[in-house]
Amino acid sequence: MKQWFALSAIGRDRPGIVADLAELIYECDLNLEDSSMTILGSEFAVLLLCSGEGPGLAERLGSACKRLEWEKRITVFFRPLEAPPAEPAAHGPTLECIVTGVDKAGIVARVARTLADHGVNVEDLRTESRPEPETGTPIYTMRIRMAAPPDLDRAALAARLEEVAAALRVDLVLRERPPAP
């Protein structure tokens, strides 16, 4: 019977960190089903969805994760899933929200709460803060890819997001994204 695992890992970014994690998955007789990997500051962060069949998978994965932590200083957590990943739910349009402005506390929290209140599911969220070339002022950019419910009142969402953007003094663009290839 096929077993599923969610795995997260973080470690100082360096050449070979992806190879170390991929080899861990391979050596445990697991298949890498889905992944997201990125550099955050000086750290490399990974989310993986793996599957495999046979006895002792969780025990082998647990031992391999401990070994990787000890040998390579990569912090690894994994969790067996109770069921296979669900098929994506039917939803309305895929939307994108881009927020740009002077960095301040609350941007992600306020925008994310507004989306949640309208039943929008965040699928991917990326942020960065970079100094403005002329003044050095930190400029914050957030990009959110999201799935809207089929019955979304897009005008109401846009109006509420505009209110949030005005209160935060940031620019906000909400637009429909073409389907992924």
Q: pLDDT (tens digit, 9 = 90+) per residue, 130-172?
A: 998 888 899 999 999 999 998 999 999 999 999 999 999 999 9
- Give the H/E segment covering residue 11: strand 2-12
CA atoms within 13 A on the CB side of 53: 2
Residue 133 near residue 157 (C-beta atoms within 8 A): no
At 177, the pLDDT band (50, 70, 90 cuts) reads confident
So what's the pLDDT on residue 90? 58
Q: Where in the chain is the domain with CATH 3.30.70.260?
A: 2-81, 94-176
What is the average pLDDT across 81-99? Answer: 80
Class in CATH terms, 2-81? alpha beta
Class in CATH terms, 94-176? alpha beta
So what's the pLDDT on residue 93? 75
* DSSP class of 89: P
Model confidence pTM above 0.85: no
